[in-house]
Structure 1
Amino acid sequence: MSHRTDEHDQWDHLKDAIVGLGERSIRKSYYPELKAKIKDLDQQRVFFQSILNSIPDGVVVMDPSGKIRQANPALCRMFGYSNEELAGLDPSVLYENNCAIFRHDDFPTTWCRRFVRKDGRVFLGETLNSEIRDDQGGLLGTLELIRDVSERLKVIRQQRQLEEQLRQSQKMAAIGTLAGGIAHDFNNLLAAILGYAELALLKLPPGGALQREIRQILKAGGKASELVNQILAFSRKETTKRIPIQPGVLIKEVIKLLRGTIPSTITIRERIAATDRMILANPTQLHQVVMNLCTNAFHAMEEQGGEMTLSLESVRKLLREKEEEREWIRISVADNGCGIEPATLERIFEPYFTTKPSGKGTGMGLAVVHGIVESHGGRIEVKSTVGQGTTVQVYFPVVAGVEAQRPCKEEQSLVGGDESILVVDDEQMVADYLKGFLEQLGYRITICNDGSSALALFEHNPQAFDLVITDQTMPGKTGFEMARNMLALRPDLPIILCSGYSSALSPERVAKAGIREFMMKPVSLHDLAPVIRAVLPNRPS
């Protein structure tokens, strides 16, 4: 028979003996009073037992020897024991490896202990111990109150994670604003560098060594411009233009870039096949995907060195259920680095999740990769073994019947004219190279360095100019504001608006205002010349 049942039976026997003694007593007058006292004691016992049973936290009561005497229903549910199973046991059966009480980082004001359930599962609980003493101070036993804080701990950690994500989001927003300002200034510098290089190229005889060197300047400047656009695309939400491209060409460019940036302790191998296959993608975003994957592979081998393999091939396979088998371009980045733990592997695409030390990663790399791949209708798979390495495979759907866009040749003939053009730009270098180029094509050029003075000049004689080419971001009055004022005076005026960066403007808003063309800096002179002829009403014969 259990301890709890024995105790209850002993009380019933004692009660019957006292009542029997009263009934047999000579002084029968004491019997009703005695019976009332016993009833009162019985009610108090039931009352205090009900209080114990109704406490939502676990309560375990120990006798003076330290053995469990009683546990309330909440504790029995918490641990999976019955009251009868616990009675007489040492309370250490509830503790994980006799775990002592300690202060937990998430609950610094209370004592905690690691407890173990009957099925072996461990949980964190708050604990409060108290001695039970009688009126004379004699020790009757001890009491421990236990509160399971597993769910609270989970909520606290989720809240902390959300707060960290919010802080990171605010940092990204600040970076986006900063990137916009940097992009405007940097694109103005690039515009001058590329513009003067194009001017020099036009003045040199073809085939010379100096011309080849200037072409390298133009090529490097073009890459710098793409880098700025990549930063802007990363820092703001926007729909990027996709074109048919051969990814093999882009991957070879990435490999060339990597060879000059990663240490010689890491060997780069390439296996490029299916170079004739086309995918519909944004080149900058595809470059970002491959570079992020290669950067992660590099970090996995940074300390010990190793081998990174980039491969490209065409495969036919079914990647998901309820989808038809189709042809894919598979881009793989493999390394023989440290590998990824299975628990970490499940979270690698979560925004802001990183295992890198502070200052070496934001946790956004693979999240961005996943977003770009999914937005392109692609798929991504990761295989990793701890101590052996990781392989990331990215799939993009192959498109048929299209050709890659060819860049405009610099040798194409440039068509000019004799119209009068007002050039408005607060950067004197940009205004000067535009003046030099356009005058070489036969145009008559007037320069203003701010929107207010340009508008005043135009208002003096609205018919004096056949075309206005203006920058957007200028002190005083923006190019967009100036253009609207000019169009109010002369609605048929052709205007070309150029911008290094402006989050407030879009091609749709510009067109709605009546502005003919919107071009992003740095503007290539070979791109600008045909646009000028397209917006001017009369083409030269």
Structure 2
Amino acid sequence: MNLPLNIHWYLDVGAATLVIVMTGYGLLRVFRLLSETGGNLLMRYIFFQTAALFVFASGRAVGHILKRVFLYTGHEEMWALLSPYSGGINTLTFVAFSIIALLYSDIERAETEIGRLSEEKRTIKSLLDYKQTILDSMVFPAMVISTDYRVIDVNKPFLELFGKDREEIIGRFCYEISHDSPEMCDSEDHPCPMKYILAGKYPVTMIHHHRGSEGEGVVEIAASAVTGGNGEVTAMIEVLRDITEELRRDEERELMRSRLQELQKTESLRTLVGGIAHEFNNMLVGIQGNAEILLIKAGELKEEEKRRLRKIMDSSQKMADLIRKMMVYEQATSFEKSPLDMNDVIRDGMGLATKGFPPEIEVLTALSDEPLPIVGDRSSLFQVVINLLTNARDAMPNGGMVRVQSERKRVDGKDYAVLIVSDTGEGIEKELLSRIFDPFFTTKDVGKGTGMGLSVTKGIVEAHGGFIDVSSLKGEGATFSVYIPIHSAPAEGVTEERKSPSLKRGRKVLIAEDDRTVREILSEMVSEAGFIPVVAGDGREAVKRFEEEGDEIAAVFTDIIMPEMTGYELLKEIRKTDEDTPVIAISGHAGSLRREDLLKEGFQDFIEKPFTMERLKEALDLDFT
């Protein structure tokens, strides 16, 4: 009986055909994989199972097609005969192929392979654990970063440095962890190590600022590439070394080194200045003394000749003033110290210094409301104020503002009276800041400054136990801060000159001086003053002359620094036999000498070289005890 074709027929036959095609294609693909892998155990097993599936599925599909064909062609009896056996045949075929697959799979080999894979797994886990132990045993923090900037692994020191758990770090971007930033580090002071690694520039070392659990610190990064078998970079490992404390120690060492250099330079300059001042003063005694004696005896000289002699004396005096400034830098001048209020000194200095300021310069004052008691030499501190204000004025040729302040400030447990002078002028270049206090150093045009102003200021301040701080940037003005120790107690009294009746003219004056020029000029001046000079080239000769003519000697002039015997030693020798004869100290190299110290030693007066006839007469006319 012929049945009409309908939609069920098409679907049944089409689906059966599709099953045959799909399972056949799957079998083909597995066969190709089996060929590519060299026929390993796993692929062989999969191949036979796929073949069994193909036979089973194809058998079922062919059965459906045969059913439709028998029914369509009118052979229902044939289909009725075969249909009871079709399912069993298909099942038997599938089981047969499965058994074949198992037989060809070599169970013993499969177990061996599974055991090997398990051992490899344990080995890999052991290696991973060992790798992590090595990482964690490192002294320095380490981080492994993928080429897409994500953290792959970190060690224990890294976790401790950043105060985080591993789960909070792994998988995140490296810059989020290291810099606490959502953006990649790629600035000049923070170049990205990964970019150097990817460009083939490795290993690489650089400095970064990282933000750890204790705040921001400076770290040194040593970055190396992790490469695959083909040499391609797959990751980067960073080893971090915290150098924050090391840099701080380096800065402290550099500061100490610079301070030591400054101290050595200062001491060298002071030694040089002292030596130059001594020699210059001795020469000036000859120049100025001879000119003065010529003027005294200038009865027959023309007025033009007298004028020239006076010019020589004026120039000598200017030179002497310059040397005194040098001696201030060397802290070689003696100061007459007394109790002062720093505010009063500042007001007096400003009153004189600002008179010469142009109207384009505005002066602002903010002095402390409380007194600032110090002990110091008024005239020298007065000079400090004038020098700083003059310096500020010269720094503002086109006008500007000067601010003068005073305050009490505690530094290292000690109270200071602080004078602050700020200007809005040209400022000082950084490389010149260390030189501005050197004698004769100046940035002004020739003829507009001697270069002694700031060096004198520093000498005065340090002689008062203080110090100067300066801050400046080129084009942004400068600020000078002068620190003088607060001193509430009254000043120590200075030993006063011991007085007695004036010396009588016609008596002898002993002169102990190793420099022949000074000795000759001093002899002439003593003669002009009405005394008889008795000269000695050194201290020992002076002792001998005093022993021979002591009863006739009314006073003694002695240089402090002499060969064989110093002025101090000469004084002691004279005092062994004579307690009354005045001994007057003279020196062109005061060094650490101060007038009050010399008076305490027993000298009746102290004359600094170069000196005038008037000063010598003053010393000889003093009343001595």
- The C-alpha deviation readout for 1:382-431, integer Å capped at 9, x for no partner, is 9999967567798999xxxxxxxxxxxxxxxx986221112222333333
Counterpart residue number, 1:400: none
Does the 8 A contact of 2:220 with 2:242 survive in 1?
yes
Counterpart residue number, 2:272: 178
Matched, 1:372 2:461: yes
Matched, 1:307 2:399: yes
**Aligned-partner SS, 2:186:** helix
Counterpart residue number, 1:227: 322
Equivalent positions of 1:103-252 (< 5 A) are 111-117=205-211, 124-131=218-225, 141-199=235-293, 221-236=316-331, 240-242=335-337
- The C-alpha deviation readout for 1:218-240, integer Å capped at 9, x for no partner, is 66655543433332232248873
Supply the distance in 1 between the matched residues of 2:420 and 2:160 (Cα, whole angstroms). 51
Counterpart residue number, 2:569: 481
Counterpart residue number, 1:84: 167
2:143 aligned residue (60, 77, 84): 60
Equivalent positions of 1:274-353 (< 5 A) are 281-295=377-391, 298=394, 300=395, 305-307=397-399, 319=407, 336-338=424-426, 352=434
State the AA in 2 paired with 1:161: L
Supply the distance in 2 between the matched residues of 1:451 and 1:43 (Cα, whole angstroms). 93
Supply the distance in 2 between the matched residues of 1:185 and 1:355 (Cα, whole angstroms). 23
- The C-alpha deviation readout for 1:298-345, integer Å capped at 9, x for no partner, is 4x55xxx52377899xxxx994599xxxxxx9999675534589xx9x
Does the 8 A contact of 2:227 with 2:234 survive in 1?
yes
State the AA in 2 paired with 1:307: G
Identical counterparts, % of pairs: 22
Does the 8 A contact of 1:100 with 1:113 survive in 2?
no
**Aligned-partner SS, 1:433:** helix
Which structure would you say has the larger Rg? 2
How many Å apart are 1:171 and its aligned residue? 0.8
**Aligned-partner SS, 2:622:** helix
Does the 8 A contact of 1:67 with 1:91 survive in 2?
yes
Counterpart residue number, 1:529: 617
Counterpart residue number, 1:433: 521
**Aligned-partner SS, 2:241:** strand
Does the 8 A contact of 2:507 with 2:552 survive in 1?
no
Q: 1:217 to 1:416 in 2, by over 3 A?
A: farther
Tell me the C-alpha RMSD between the 2 structures: 5.9
Supply the distance in 2 between the matched residues of 1:391 and 1:365 (Cα, whole angstroms). 13
- The C-alpha deviation readout for 1:134-189, integer Å capped at 9, x for no partner, is 99999885422111323322322331222122112101101111111112112223
Bigger mean CA deviation after superposition, 457-466 or 128-137: 128-137
Count of aligned residue pairs for this structure pair: 453
Supply the distance in 1 between the matched residues of 2:140 and 2:385 (Cα, whole angstroms). 52
Bigger mean CA deviation after superposition, 152-161 or 477-486: 477-486
Q: 1:335 to 1:203 in 2, by over 3 A?
A: farther
Equivalent positions of 1:245-284 (< 5 A) are 281-284=377-380
Matched, 1:516 2:604: yes
TM-score normalised by the chain length of structure 2: 0.54
Supply the distance in 2 between the matched residues of 1:160 and 1:190 (Cα, whole angstroms). 43
Equivalent positions of 1:396-415 (< 5 A) are none
Counterpart residue number, 1:97: 186
Equivalent positions of 1:485-500 (< 5 A) are 485-500=573-588
How many Å apart are 1:498 and its aligned residue? 0.8
State the AA in 2 paired with 1:225: A
Q: 1:196 to 1:91 in 2, by over 3 A?
A: same
Does the 8 A contact of 2:282 with 2:588 survive in 1?
yes
Does the 8 A contact of 2:210 with 2:219 survive in 1?
no
Q: 1:321 to 1:330 in 2, by over 3 A?
A: closer
Supply the distance in 2 between the matched residues of 1:360 and 1:78 (Cα, whole angstroms). 51
Supply the distance in 1 between the matched residues of 2:436 and 2:316 (Cα, whole angstroms). 33
Q: 1:340 to 1:196 in 2, by over 3 A?
A: closer
Does the 8 A contact of 1:424 with 1:449 survive in 2?
yes
Supply the distance in 2 between the matched residues of 1:35 and 1:448 (Cα, whole angstroms). 111
Supply the distance in 1 between the matched residues of 2:144 and 2:463 (Cα, whole angstroms). 58
**Aligned-partner SS, 1:97:** coil
State the AA in 1 paired with 2:531: Y
Q: Structure 1: where are the runs of 5+ without partners?
A: 1-24, 103-108, 260-265, 274-278, 323-328, 398-413
Q: 1:353 to 1:148 in 2, by over 3 A?
A: farther
State the AA in 1 paired with 2:271: T
- The C-alpha deviation readout for 1:229-279, integer Å capped at 9, x for no partner, is 3322322488732478987887798789x99xxxxxx99979899xxxxx9
**Aligned-partner SS, 2:562:** coil
**Aligned-partner SS, 1:161:** helix
Matched, 1:449 2:537: yes
Q: 1:191 to 1:386 in 2, by over 3 A?
A: closer
**Aligned-partner SS, 1:463:** helix
**Aligned-partner SS, 2:585:** strand
**Aligned-partner SS, 2:541:** helix
